[in-house]
Amino acid sequence: MKVSETQVSITTEYIKLEALLKHAGISETGGQAKTMIQGGEVQVNGEVCLQRGKKIRPGDSIMVAGRKYVVR
């Protein structure tokens, strides 16, 4: 099964994981993003990440619900 990949653009050096989930439309609210992260539903560069404030930089990839998001 091929994983769909979506490009997510940021204009800063980094974005916090919780903010990225909202920015990319993966979560509707910060509370929903927090729940997804704390529930182990989010992978950063292939590893489950439980840190809401993790700095995500261009080149990093996020995997949520079988969809891959690549930060540019």
The reported pLDDT for the residue numbered 51 is: 98
Range of the domain at 14: 5-71
Number of structural domains (the chain) is 1
Residue pair 33/18 in contact (Cβ under 8 Å)? The answer is: yes
Summarised one tens digit per residue, pLDDT across range 8-23 is 999 999 999 999 999 9
Summarised one tens digit per residue, pLDDT across range 29-56 is 999 999 999 999 999 999 999 999 999 9
Give dist(CA 27, CA 23) in Å, integer: 8
pLDDT category at 1 given cuts 50, 70, 90 is: low
Q: Long-range contact list for 27-30, CB < 8 A, 24+ apart?
A: none
The pTM (predicted TM-score) of the whole model is 0.91
Domain containing residue 33: CATH number = 3.10.290.10
